[in-house]
């Protein structure tokens, strides 16, 4: 590497191996400057709250951010913040290249990321199954009910109309039979049988 490449890959005294890491480190350096402006002349509790927020949001992932967080720890201790109130700065990478040592952190990291997703997927699957069962039940109720619905209104109305017609025909037949028995004639001289 020549001097220009080294200068382009260096941020705050750290030499990075990729352009993406350089960009991330520059973003973190800008965040450090912003935080420094915000905490200037603030008390230890305010700085502690900002420190915790930065940890929760995982703002820093490069040595630039890590060194700043360590510097903030020292500053808060000098401001009177108790050491037990300070959370350690989590490092989101593995530094040992040995395969046996590397397995443990990766397994832990994978479990932490996939377990919430598995729970969410299981919950969503359960909710979907329940909804499908409810939809099937609703269709069964609407198809078996006597009241007209969007699904069976035509069949229900035709059945109802045919039952009314059959009932009226039966009543009319009974009435005509009674008229014949009584030999009732209308005023125009016609009997009911000829109508």
**What pLDDT, on the 0 to 100 scale, is given for residue 97?**
64
Q: Chain-wide mean pLDDT for the chain? A: 81
Mean pLDDT of all residues in 60-68: 89
**What pLDDT, on the 0 to 100 scale, is given for residue 169?**
94
On the CB side of 54, CA atoms within 13 Å amount to 28
**What pLDDT, on the 0 to 100 scale, is given for residue 174?**
92
pTM of the model: 0.47
CB contact burial 74-112 (16+ within 10 A = b; e otherwise): eebeeeebeeeebeebeeeeeeeeeeeeeeeeeeeeeee
Is pLDDT at 105 greater than 50 in this prediction? Answer: no
Q: For residue 49, which of 61, 33, 35 has the smallest C-alpha distance?
A: 35
The 3-class SS string of the chain reads CCHHHHHHCEECCEECCCHHHHHHHHHHHHHHHHHHHHHCCCCHHHHHHHHHHHHHCCCCCCHHHHHHHHHHHHHHHHCCCCHHHCCCCCCCCCCCCCHHHHHHHHHHHHHHHHHHHHHHHHHHHHHHHHHHHHHHHHHHHHHHCCCCCCCCHHHHHHHHHHHHHHHHHHHHHHHHHHHHHHCCECCCCCEHHHC
Mean pLDDT of all residues in 16-40: 89
For 82, the token pair is 């108790």
Q: For residue 47, which of 37, 58, 57 has the smallest C-alpha distance?
A: 37
Most confident range, picked from 8-12, 67-71, 129-133? 129-133
């Amino acid at each position: 590497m020549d001097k220009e490449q080294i200068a382009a890959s260096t941020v705050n005294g750290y030499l990075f191996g990729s352009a993406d890491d350089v960009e991330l480190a520059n973003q973190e350096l800008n965040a450090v400057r912003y935080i420094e402006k915000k905490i200037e002349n603030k008390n230890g509790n305010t700085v502690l709250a900002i420190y915790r927020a930065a940890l929760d949001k995982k703002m820093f992932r490069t040595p630039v951010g890590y060194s700043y967080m360590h510097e903030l720890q020292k500053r808060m201790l000098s401001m009177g913040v108790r050491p037990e109130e300070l959370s350690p700065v989590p490092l989101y990478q593995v530094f040992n290249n040995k395969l046996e040592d590397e397995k443990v952190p990766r397994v832990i990291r994978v479990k932490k990321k996939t377990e919430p997703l598995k729970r969410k997927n299981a919950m969503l699957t359960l909710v979907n199954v329940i909804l499908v069962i409810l939809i099937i039940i609703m269709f069964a109720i609407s198809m078996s009910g006597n009241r007209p619905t969007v699904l069976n209104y035509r069949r229900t109305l035709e059945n109802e109309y045919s039952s009314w017609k059959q009932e009226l025909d039966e009543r009319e037949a009974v009435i005509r039979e009674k008229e014949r028995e009584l030999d009732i004639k209308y005023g125009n001289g016609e009997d009911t049988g000829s109508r």
